Homo-oligomer: A and B are copies of this chain.
């Protein structure tokens, strides 16, 4: 994309000024429009060292009220970032609906830098690029405008800028080693940049290469492209997008109605003995995965009153409290609802070596959100693939993903609801909503069947816990967790 490309010619000073004025005014108007339209706008500025990414952002944001944008400077990768999936530090910065985020260097910078330094092999690079393409498509499919700029300067111009900065005692500190290295290896960088731009250029999130020799001209190119992109995105909002076919290996799963429940029981004595033995074993494994820095994600879904809480407790009792966290998931908060639906889960991911237990999960998208109409049909139909992609990202990161469906039958639920209703100290556990959901049992069952069929990937299969006998389910859960952890330890 960069090689042999002659960029648009810088206009005459007078025209430049006039167009800058127009574009700035347009953006000032658009900041209100995107708020009304609830459009989230992610502007990514990548480019050569000293190409003026920061100062271009500085110019562009002058036209936007500070309440409507955030600048995220992504250059420095912190220790914490390294203990999360590659995309974590970028995903957590995505804008909420109606606002801008300007990102000063992003995932391109990180990937190409590792590539140039020779610390990333071909295989990892291919995976990264595939993950990035999926990530960008997920953002645009979910209504984000993603505008990607690459600020381009020539080898000579870069050298001139570095020398100029070095010559002045006040600016010398701004030249970093990476800039100098880049200039020395300009051709090699060009090749790596070019390959990356080609591989990640897509119809929904295309690259725009900016001639960054003149600051004002760079600003104008960014402003004009951005404002045009906003116009188009506002026009296209809430459009449906193709439901992509799953490309990941799936495990064949039974339907809920095919699962025998009654015979799955355990005697009291055996339960106690097994519980003790398994919890002690899990405790040991927790230490090992802590040392080996394996991240673990345990996701719980299941019928109301199926016994999720007690089941989770039997897992966590075995764990060192410094190494796990339980995330109870309720309806999203406004700031969560204003972002990609996976955002609130992505930001709650464990660090490497830690365990995160989710009490209800991202699968709400294809259950409650689907059945209550909280998202469009296109949204939940797309979600199976989006979730498989999300979990693929986690799996590529090295995470162990264990997903439980805690299963009971309709009669057992009625018994437990009635017991709760009639037992004063348990009444808090039962609400009108539980009764309302119960009325939709059949619709839920068919949604759960579809979910389990479509999201049992080889790297993150569902496990169905027969929980008419809660004790049986707890022992099963412990055994499964142990088995899955032993596979990687």
Q: Any chain B CB within 8 A of the CB of A440?
A: no
Q: What residue of chain B has the Cβ atom nearest to residue A381's Cβ?
A: B228
Complex: A141 Cα to B244 Cα, angstroms? 18
A204 and B206 contact, CB distance less than 8 A: no
Contact-residue size bin, chain A (C-beta under 8 Å from the other chain)? 35 or more
Q: Mark A222-265, 1 if CB is under 8 A from B, else 0.
A: 00010011011001100111111111111110000000000000
Q: Are A9 and B236 in contact (CB under 8 A)?
A: no
Cβ of A208 under 8 Å from chain B: yes
The distance in angstroms between the C-alpha atoms of A249 and B250, with both chains bound, is 45
Q: How far does the alpha carbon of A466 sit from the alpha carbon of B248 in the complex, in Å?
A: 61
28 A-B contacts (beta carbon < 8 Å): A5-B248, A6-B250, A6-B458, A8-B250, A9-B453, A140-B203, A202-B203, A203-B242, A204-B204, A204-B242, A206-B242, A206-B245, A207-B245, A209-B247, A228-B243, A228-B381, A229-B242, A231-B240, A232-B240, A232-B241, A232-B242, A232-B378, A235-B239, A235-B240, A236-B236, A236-B239, A236-B241, A239-B239
Most chain B Cβ neighbours within 10 Å, of A207, A209, A241, A252: A241
For residue A425, CB closer than 8 A to chain B, the reply is no
B-contacting residues, A12-58, CB 8 Å: none
**A53 nearest CB across to chain B (Å):** 18
- CA A140 to CA B203, docked complex, whole Å: 10
A4: Cβ under 8 A from any B Cβ: yes
* A482 located at the interface, meaning its Cβ lies under 8 Å from any Cβ of chain B in the complex: no
Q: Is B245 touching A4 in the complex (CB atoms < 8 A)?
A: no
Binding site for B on A (CB under 8 A): 1, 4-6, 8-9, 137, 140-141, 202-204, 206-209, 225, 228-229, 231-232, 235-236, 239-252, 378, 381, 453, 458
Q: Are B140 and A245 in contact (CB under 8 A)?
A: no
- Contact residue among B204, B225, B246 (Cβ-Cβ distance under 8 Å from A203): B204
Q: A172 to chain B: closest CB distance in Å?
A: 35
A252 (CB) vs chain B CBs: closest residue: B9
Q: CA A236 – CA B243 in complex, angstroms?
A: 14
With known contacts A203-B203, A203-B204, A243–B232 Cβ distance under 8 A: yes
B-side contacts of A244, CB under 8 Å: 203, 206
